Structure 1
Amino acid sequence: MSTGDISRRSALWGGGAVAAGAAMAMLPGVAFAAPGPGGGPVTKTVTGTFTPDIPDWYYLPVDVPRGVSRVDVVYSYDRPQVPGGVRGNACDIGMFGPEGHQLGNERGFRGWSGGFRDRFSISASEATPGYLPGPITPGRWHVILGPYTVAPQGLRYRVDITLTFGPPGPAFRPDPAPETAPARQRGASWYRGDSHLHTVHSDGKRTPAELVAAARAAKLDFIVSTEHNTPSASLQWGGHATDDLLILNGEEVTTRSGHWPAIGLPAGKWIDWRYRASDPVQFRRFVDQVHRHGGLVTAAHPFANCFGCTYEYAYELADLVEVWNGPWTEEDQAAVIHWDGLLRGGRWIPAIGDSDAHTPDHTVGLPHTVVRADGLARKDLLAGLKAGHSWLAESADVSLEFTVTDGTRTAGIGERLPAGTGTPVTVKAVVGGVPGTTVTFLDQLGPEHTETVPASGTATVTWTTYPRYSRWVRAEVRRPSGGPKTTVPNAMVAMTNPIFLGQERFPRADS
């Protein structure tokens, strides 16, 4: 069966709840009939061509009869040569069940693998990573195709849908991660965590067990699983959890206008991603959904140099800004500069650092965030992150304490010292495990005081300022020669969120 050439002028949906947020279109569907006695699996094939001028999402209706025990989908597309600087073909894929595929319809979502897999399978008992096991309910299912980039020659695709008939098999039983990690619980303390990580449940190469092993080797207290556009991993972490690593659930909401990890979600919770920054109403809708579930929104790798990766949404709706993503690069430097600019302008959104590790070559915990929390629990960790009681480190070998005092009162990271404008304030950083680095104190005017750390890697650095001159202060530790897995000079080793000085109240400064 061929759908022919598909362009923006064919079968576009205009308006309505389904079309809200991004351009969508419907492809001609396929219908299956139940086979006769003794009949085996039945396959139908759909082919067609996408032209460059097309919407973001296409839906291929599949009418599934009763008695189906498994659905298999295989797809492929051509990759013609394109000149340098011209984008070639890339196409994502996923699946919605007969409960519906309207924007935000969580009941209908059955899985997503983006462009990482060329096939998937769903049954009552199991599913390909990224997809959700469950009953194969009769009705109209939809394969979703997302032409990510399309070459000038067009994108020729093929989709093979196979239905297998028979008994459904035993029901899948979710096994989410436990809510505690007693061996790491220290009560009110500082906890190290990496809140942006991937496994084979999206485009990562590590299994869940391998990711847990890497996180434990990095001496982390907690991690957040953030697969692209799917909660499938969150239903299976229990089989890989240990008593010395807390595993939180999340989703990297991966849109055509940037990525925003929703962290701290309940197991199995799904957040939709089918909209762009040009529709701020839908973005706010799903940000509000994350907050209702008790989670936080992260503006991920804001200056990542790949199509659809750069964060284009409103920063004021984000709870956190990921200013450091993986080994230090110029993209991270741009993110810190932008974040610092927001801070100077009176808008504080706490900074966070994550490894975004996908493969065994990516170091889990490079970087990570060290957060002060009342305990090693989801609610406490998220509260500490949102309040900005945190600092960023390249590894667990790095230690840092950062405070300000007026001789009577002391404030820590993310707090405010309400000293008078003419009161001298002592800024103090105590660092360890950072040989070959410099410690710099910054305020709204930029770098104010810098000292070199001796070969021992430990140092205590102090500086005196006044609230009249410094509205806030923060600390950076940098290595002029670069850092792990980077040759970029002046690489970040550690950085803090600010401490605020004086009576002026910044947004969130007193949270």
Structure 2
Amino acid sequence: MRAYIFVAGLIMAGCISSSTLGQSSHSNPWAPVDVGPLPPIASLTDGVWLKGDLHLHSRHSHDSSNNSEAKIIAFSESVGMDYLCITDHDNHVQGDVAHNTWSDPEFKSKSLLLLYGAEWTTVRGHGNAFSATPYDHQRLYDVRDQRDVVVGAVKRELGIHLSANHPSGKDHFGYSYDMVDSIEVWNSAVWPKNANAIMIWDDMLSSGRKLTGRGGSDSHHGTPDTPEQATKNTYQRQANYVGTPTTWVFAKERTLQAVVDALTNGRVAVSANPYAPRVEFYADLDGDGKMDMMMGDNTKATGKPIKFRIQLTGNTVAGASYTVRVVKNGDPFSTLQATGGKEAMVEFTDTPASLGRTYYRIEVEGPPTAYPQVPGSMALSGNMVGLSNPIYFNFDPKF
């Protein structure tokens, strides 16, 4: 029969039955849903940790001084970097990066993996493009003032990794985060200025985006060769240069493509400098004492407790206390204390919700690690040692 319902003076007509009366005919679009099959977790042992810097400027950027590609590369080799991406401003060469930065005779190294990239510099913010092979950056430059859907289509056609640079402040990233693969959460040696970038990262993660957090020194100036240069450029290598901060990737192999893949997949940690300890974050899903997943990995929650492990690998101060902060879904979850030494490690247990997204990430503070080649950086980074990317549960694999 046809029933009429009078609600607050409105007449609603429809074919209903007594069994559906008072019930919504629409499902809640915000209710947790099963994400379906997820890709298998990759090996935790079949890979290699590689360290590098993903945001650097050479003489091909007009606002850079005394910083040739040869100087950047030689310094990077001297501090043991594994990979590098020189990201000159594309608007300084009208988008023609390939015939400037990449074609420079100094763009070569016997030990470093040199990624192809540039800083996409627009009125709506800046981003870095990373690629294992040369690509047509001019196409990305030419659509910088177009709608996000146009930019995103070109990015996909080029097959590049696009990353949002220094997302807050003067040159905040004003494009959709749906079209980027990572976000610069630690820009330069000045750690405190990144608070807003961390907040934006947590916002993006909480919205369901599986977005890698990375670092970048954003260094523009090389070693001053004369006292005059040292006086003119106060923000020099003594305070901020290659590796402040350093981005670590757990790559399947020592190749350019493996670096980009690891960056995209979120198997990434960031440390204050190349000598600072690396924050490694793992989870034991079945309680057998063996770690089954690491930062960047995504799996279904079972409703059972999971043991998490945070390990500081590298140079820690023996006997010193390191503060390990666990962030869950954007909020402080737990604060732990790790003791520096050969086995600097702490563990905690929690039960991710069986339905709905959950993520955990780590931040570590402690004694600054000396970086003799860039001594001023220690004061700028303060006690910040490093951070991890999240471990994810029930995230949509499309993001």
Q: Specify if TM > 0.5.
A: yes
Query: Residue type matched to 2:196 in 1?
Result: A
CA gap of 1:212–1:219, structure 2 versus 1, over 3 A, is same
Summarize the Cα distance change of 1:487–1:394 in structure 2 as closer, same or farther, 3 Å threshold.
Answer: closer
The match for 1:401 is: 280
Could you tell me which of 253, 270, 281 is aligned with 1:392?
Answer: 270
The question of whether the paired residues in 1 share the 8 Å contact of 2:187 and 2:216 is answered with yes
Question: Shift in Å at residue 240 of structure 1?
Answer: 4.7
Tell me, in whole angstroms, the C-alpha distance in 1 between the residues paired with 2:81 and 2:380.
26
Matching of residue 204 in structure 1 with residue 64 in structure 2: yes
In 2, the alpha carbon distance for the partners of 1:508 and 1:498 equals 16
Q: How much has 1:416 moved relative to structure 2? A: 2.5
SS at match of 1:461: strand
Name the structure 1 match of 2:17: none
Contact 2:368 2:384 in 1 (8 A): no
Q: 1:467 to 1:192 in 2, by over 3 A?
A: same
Counterpart of 1:217 in structure 2: which amino acid?
Answer: S
Distance in 2, matches of 1:427 and 1:336, equals 22
Residues 400-479 of structure 1 mapped to structure 2, 5 A cutoff? 400-406=279-285, 407-408=287-288, 410-421=292-303, 423-432=304-313, 433-435=315-317, 437-444=322-329, 446-454=331-339, 456=341, 459-468=344-353, 471-479=358-366
Quick one: distance in 2 between partners of 1:491 and 1:280? 41
1:191 pairs with one of 28, 33, 50: 50
TM-score by length of 2: 0.71
> Percent of pairs identical after alignment?
25
Shift of 1:376: 2.3
Whole-angstrom CA distance in 2 between matches of 1:259 and 1:275 = 13
CA distance in 1, matches of 2:214, 2:182: 6
Secondary structure (helix, strand or coil) at the match of 2:58 reads coil
Question: Deviation string for 1:183-234 (max 9, x for gaps)?
Answer: xxx9831211211111001132211110001211332111012110141344
Compute the displacement of 1:286 (Å): 3.7
* Structure 1 runs not aligned, ≥5 long: 1-185
* Per-residue deviation, 1:318: 1.0
Give the conservation status (yes or no) of the 8 Å contact 1:252–1:260.
yes
Q: Which amino acid aligns with 2:389?
A: N
Cα offset, 1:419, TM superposition: 4.1
Q: Identify the range of structure 1 (478-487 vs 453-462) with the bigger mean alpha-carbon deviation.
A: 478-487
1:214 equivalent to 2:214? Answer no
CA distance in 2, matches of 1:280, 1:268: 20
Confirm or deny that 1:299 pairs with 2:142. Answer: no
> For the residues of structure 2 that align with 1:274 and 1:480, how far apart are their CA atoms?
46
SS of the residue aligned with 2:324? strand
1:347 aligns to what SS in structure 2? coil
Q: Tell me, which stretches of 5 or more residues in structure 2 are unaligned? A: 1-44, 223-235, 371-375
Find the partner of 2:200 among 338, 347, 368. 338
Partners of 1:417 and 1:321 lie apart in 2 by 22
Query: Structure 1 length normalisation: TM-score?
Result: 0.56
In the TM superposition, residue 334 of structure 1 has moved relative to its aligned partner by: 0.8
Aligned length, in residue pairs = 315
One-letter amino acid of the structure 1 residue matched with residue 295 of structure 2: I
Give the secondary structure class of the aligned counterpart of 1:437: strand
Distance 1:399 1:489 in 2: 15
Partner of 1:251: 118
Q: Does the 8 Å CA contact 1:262/1:297 hold for their aligned counterparts?
A: yes
Deviations 1:133-158 (A, max 9, x none): xxxxxxxxxxxxxxxxxxxxxxxxxx
Deviation at 1:486, TM superposition (A): 6.3
Distance in 2 (CA, whole Å) between partners of 1:430 and 1:224 is: 27
Any idea what the Cα deviations from partners look like across 1:255-275, whole Å, max 9, x if unmatched?
111111111164373335466
The 1:399–1:330 alpha-carbon spacing in structure 2 relative to 1, beyond 3 Å, is: closer
Q: Secondary structure at the match of 1:358?
A: coil
Q: 1:455 to 1:387 in 2, by over 3 A?
A: closer
| Alignment-mate amino acid for residue 363 of structure 1 | Y
**Distance in 2 of aligned mates of 1:453 and 1:460:** 6
1:350 aligns with 2:194: no
Query: What is the match of residue 55 of structure 1?
Result: none
Q: CA deviation at 1:369?
A: 1.5
| 1:480/1:219 CA distance change after superposition, 3 Å | closer
Task: Say which structure is richer in strand.
Answer: 1
Question: Alpha carbon RMSD of aligned pairs, Å?
Answer: 2.9
- In the alignment, the residues of structure 1 paired with residue 64 and residue 302 of structure 2 have an alpha-carbon distance, to the nearest angstrom, of 51
Q: Distance in 1 between the 2:342 and 2:382 partners?
A: 16
Task: Quickly say closer, same or farther: Cα 1:224–1:482, change in 2 above 3 A.
Answer: closer
CA distance in structure 2 between the aligned counterparts of 1:187 and 1:237, rounded to whole angstroms: 35
Measure how far apart 1:242 and its partner are.
2.3
Rg larger in 1 or in 2? 1
Selected match of 2:183 from 305, 321, 325:
321
